[in-house]
Amino acid sequence: MTESARHYSRADRLVQGFADGLRALSPAASRPLPAAISEPLSDGERQAAASLMRINHAGEVAAQGLYHGQALVARDPELRRHLLDAAREERDHLHWCAERLQQLQDHPSRLSPFWYAGSVAIGALAGLSGDRRSLGFVAETERQVSAHLQEHLQRLPEADRASRAVVQAMKADEERHGAEALAAGGALPPAPVRGLMQAVAGLMKFGATRF
Q: Is 99 annotated as a binding residue?
A: no
Q: Tell whether residue 174 is among the known ligand binding residues.
A: yes
Is 140 annotated as a binding-site member? no
Task: Tell me the three-class secondary structure of the chain, residue by residue.
Answer: CCHHHCCCCHHHHHHHHHHHHHHHHCCCCCCCCCCCCCCCCCHHHHHHHHHHHHHHHHHHHHHHHHHHHHHHHCCCHHHHHHHHHHHHHHHHHHHHHHHHHHHCCCCCCCCHHHHHHHHHHHHHHHHHCCHHHHHHHHHHHHHHHHHHHHHHHHHCCCCCHHHHHHHHHHHHHHHHHHHHHHHCCCCCCCHHHHHHHHHHHHHHHHHHHHC
Binding positions for Fe cation are 60, 90, 93, 142, 174, 177
Binding residues: 60, 90, 93, 142, 174, 177
